[in-house]
Structure 1
Amino acid sequence: MLQKTHSAAGLVAAEVVIVQQQIPFLSWEAGGAILLGCLAGTLADVDKPGSTMAKVLFPLSALLRLLGVKHRTMTHSLLFIAAIGLAASPLPHLYFLVLIAAYASHPLIDLFNENGVQLFWPLKGKIRLLPKFLAVGTGSPLETAVRWVLLGWSLWIPFSTIRF
């Protein structure tokens, strides 16, 4: 999936947390959470040379490359999500939840990609949820449709919380 799709998924994840935590959407807290969600949704691609996250976090990306970490392996695993959770535990509760939810959205939607992810890294074998002929190709029209659905959902979530 492309960065913009992962960012949209991170946005939706952040909004779900904001609703669950009963934070008003028109607040600085929510604004920060939404920004964090959009960024954290793309963070797992730090393992992909040439990606925006690999460029922004070059020292980490270079270290992963030196260690031989391949794309959609370690940084897309449940173990790494747990490690992020441990490292992020000092954050305020809202931002901790948003970081974990948005980061986890990345491997979750990559499970629908034709290449799958090594979800149980360090165990070998990539997992995908759809057969290859139904899977969402990176940059495909189906991915564009998925992104538009996510963006539509991101508009619906705040408005669905308004009580008249």
Structure 2
Amino acid sequence: MLQKTHSAAGLVVAEMVLIYEDVAFLSWEAAGAILLGCLAGPLADVDKQGSTMAKILFPLSALLKVLKVRHRTLTHSLLFMLALLLLTLPLPPLYFLVFMAAYASHPLIDLLNVNGVQLFWPLPWKIRLLPKYLAVDTGSAGETAFQWMLVGVGLWIPFSNITF
């Protein structure tokens, strides 16, 4: 999936955490959480040379390239998420939840992709949730539709939580 799709998923996840934590959407805390969600969503693609995250985090991307880490392996794995969980524990609870949930949304969405994900890396098994004929190709019309659905949900959530 593309960076825009993962950012939209990060937005939706951040908004769901804000509702769960009962944080007002019109607050600086919420703004920070939403920004964090939009950045953490596509972060796992730091392993894909040429991606937005690889360009932003070039030193990390270069290290992954030197270590010959392939796309949708280490950075998309449960093992890596466990390491991130330990690294981000010192964050304030709201931002910890947003970061981890938005990051986890990335491999979850990539499980819908034709190529699947090595979720249990270093084991070589690639997992895909949909049969190949239903799976979503990166950059396809199916991904664009999914992306717009996420954006629509992301726009709807703040207004659905308003009480008069």
TM-score (norm 2): 0.99
Runs of 4+ off more than 3 Å: none
CA distance in 1, matches of 2:40, 2:56: 13
| Partner of residue 97, structure 1 | 97
TM alignment of 1:148-159, pairs within 5 A: 148-159=148-159
Please report the RMSD computed on the Cα atoms of aligned residues, expressed in angstroms: 0.6
Deviation for aligned residue 1:95: 0.4
For 2:155, give the aligned amino acid.
L
CA distance in 1, matches of 2:19, 2:121: 32
Deviation for aligned residue 1:68: 1.1
> What number of residue pairs does the alignment pair up?
164
Deviation for aligned residue 1:106: 0.4
Deviation for aligned residue 1:128: 0.4
| Partner of residue 47, structure 1 | 47
Deviations for 1:9-30, whole angstroms, at most 9, x for unmatched residues? 0000100100000000000000
CA distance in 1, matches of 2:88, 2:8: 22
- Which blocks of at least 5 consecutive residues in structure 1 are unaligned? none
Identical positions, percent:
73
TM-score (norm 1): 0.99
| Partner of residue 4, structure 1 | 4
- Which blocks of at least 5 consecutive residues in structure 2 are unaligned? none
TM alignment of 1:10-159, pairs within 5 A: 10-159=10-159
Deviation for aligned residue 1:47: 0.2
